[in-house]
Amino acid sequence: MLDIKFIKENLQLVKDNVKKRFTDADPNLAVELYDKKNQIQVELDNIRQKRNINADKMKQKMDQEQRNILIEEGKELKNKISDLEANLYEISDKFSEELSKIPNLTHPSTPIGKTEEDSKIIKNIGQIPSFSFKIKDHIEIAKDLDIIDFENAAKVSGQKFYYLKNEGALLELALINFAMKMLTEKGFVPYITPDLAREKILSGIGFNPRGNETNIYSVKDSDLCLIATAEITLGGLYMDKIIPADQLPIKMVGLSHCFRTEAGAAGKAQKGLYRVHQFSKVEMFVITSEEDSREMHEELREIEEDIFKQLKIPFRLLDIASGDLGAPAYKKYDLEAWMPGKNEYGEITSTSNCTDYQSRRLNIKYKDSNGSNKYAYMLNGTAVAVPRAIISILENFQREDGSVLIPKVLIPFMGVSEIKKK
């Protein structure tokens, strides 16, 4: 979240930014509720002080008439305190809700627009393959090669689930091991994270764990949720901590399952592996200082590009438009791979600089060289989202005889150089 004092002092800037982000946040209301909350708190503190004075007087010697007067005053003060506390709780709750709706500021170079179509294409990398035969999409390829089972997964778990089998299972493991090895060699600490996290962690990272518009699965009768990304569990590791400056940057790479309801996701372009309820993902997460955050964001982008260059998958780099940014993101890049089965590009990775938006929610600080505590800057980036990487490999490396070549960098992890019909 943004600092409410910053919002008050820069109200027009924040209001203009809300328009850029095309959200329904109301900075005026947030400021109004903040002032009202403080006003009630002052009034409450004054009455509590009067109650304490009243209690001290009750300890002194006095006649019964004076004591009865103090008793009545005490009762009246107690009732006022109770009413004000209830009012304060209600106003504080409304204030927190409105403050959480206000998105992060937006990088000056970010394209202004409402949808992903307004994003700016920075560059194209790799050659889009041309085929001399009728191509298949990944669903047909997977069925012919017996490596993904959608039908039985639908019987067991429902739509948008899948089994990986044979070389399909090995391909997931190869992609994970390739990414984890590469990131570990670059100084990232490897983690395999829990698949569940508490609601306050999800809210701190910027997800909405409850409500009609949530994309999160919640566990009944608990405050636990299935995570949508390892960003949640990696960020939660440092909640309420102060990090010495000489430990920055903290670079982590986490493997987790990811769970998303994908409410409203439909249509031919979303079929197969493109949008699913559960998948594996290798996620980069960095905690650093404000001064180093821009350079770190570019490093994450370069790593994502390097991964897909090594996989020999053609892709393009996008600077994501303001209206398509998540609330925590200050600036975001996406990589979109060419997917022949869709005959279009599809998102495969993203990386965001979330500045101190998440760290304020999670209370993550670092101690600078002057000994002052500052909110840390937090960044995230997808190394490999397995299903979409598999789509890209199957469709771009398909051959006329129905087989699929394995990218050279994955062969040591796969043990095979191609997937053939059984």
Say yes or no: 257 and 313 in one domain: yes
Sheet of 278-288, strand order: 120-125, 315-319, 331-339, 344-353, 377-385, 278-288, 250-259, 189-192
Neighbour count for residue 405 (Cβ, 10 Å): 15
Contact 360, 239 (CB under 8 A): no
Residue 39 belongs to domain spanning: 4-101
HEC assignment per residue over the chain: CCCHHHHHHCHHHHHHHHHHHCCCCCHHHHHHHHHHHHHHHHHHHHHHHHHHHHHHHHCCCCCHHHHHHHHHHHHHHHHHHHHHHHHHHHHHHHHHHHHHHCCCCCCCCCCCCCCHHHCEEEEEECCCCCCCCCCCCHHHHHHHHCCEEHHHHHHHCCCCCCEECCHHHHHHHHHHHHHHHHHHHCCCEEEECCCEEEHHHHHHHCCCCCCCCCCCCECCCCCEEECCCHHHHHHHCCCCCEEEHHHCCEEEEEEEEEECCCCCCCCHHHCCCCCCCEEEEEEEEEEECHHHHHHHHHHHHHHHHHHHHHCCCCEEEEECCHHHCCCCCCEEEEEEEEECCCCEEEEEEEEEECCCHHHHHHCCEEECCCCCEEECEEEEEEEEEHHHHHHHHHHHCECCCCCEECCHHHHHHHCCCEECCC
pLDDT at 373: 93
Say yes or no: 194 and 304 in one domain: yes
Say yes or no: 178 and 231 in one domain: yes
Say yes or no: 122 and 95 in one domain: no
In a domain, 401, yes or no: yes
pLDDT at 266: 58
Q: Of the residues 48, 71, 101, which one is the last residue of a structural domain? A: 101
Residue type, 398: Q
pLDDT at 265: 55
Say yes or no: 126 and 92 in one domain: no
In a domain, 154, yes or no: yes
Say yes or no: 139 and 259 in one domain: yes
Q: Is the dihedral of CA 271, 276, 281, 286 positive or negative?
A: positive
pLDDT along the chain (422 residues), means of 10: 90 96 94 95 92 85 83 89 93 92 95 92 95 95 96 95 97 98 98 96 86 82 95 96 94 97 65 94 97 97 98 97 94 97 95 96 90 94 98 97 96 96 86
**How far is it, in rounded angstroms, from Cα 356 to Cα 74?**
45
CATH assignment of the domain containing 69: 1.10.287.40
**How far is it, in rounded angstroms, from Cα 96 to Cα 221?**
24
Query: 210-213: long-range contacts at Cβ-Cβ below 8 A with a sequence spacing of 24 or more?
Result: 213/263
Structural domain total, the chain = 2
In a domain, 111, yes or no: no
Say yes or no: 135 and 83 in one domain: no
In a domain, 292, yes or no: yes
pTM over 0.95: no
Q: Of the residues 101, 134, 167, which one is the last residue of a structural domain? A: 101
Neighbour count for residue 80 (Cβ, 10 Å): 16
Residues forming the active site: 260, 275, 347, 350, 388
Backbone angles phi, psi at 358, to 5 degrees: -80, -35
CATH assignment of the domain containing 311: 3.30.930.10
**How far is it, in rounded angstroms, from Cα 301 to Cα 299?**
5
Half-sphere exposure of 230 (CA within 13 A, CB side): 26
In a domain, 110, yes or no: no
Say yes or no: 138 and 87 in one domain: no
Say yes or no: 40 and 157 in one domain: no
What the block records as the tokens of 348 is 């495969």
In a domain, 298, yes or no: yes
What the block records as the tokens of 4 is 């409410």
What the block records as the tokens of 25 is 């946040």
pLDDT at 268: 59
In a domain, 207, yes or no: yes
In a domain, 307, yes or no: yes
Question: Quick check: bond before 412 cis, omega within 30?
Answer: no
Say yes or no: 180 and 77 in one domain: no
pLDDT at 177: 98
Residue 412 buriedness (CB in 10 A; 0-12 / 13-18 / 19+): exposed
Say yes or no: 64 and 141 in one domain: no
Say yes or no: 50 and 120 in one domain: no
Q: Of the residues 101, 127, 146, which one is the last residue of a structural domain? A: 101
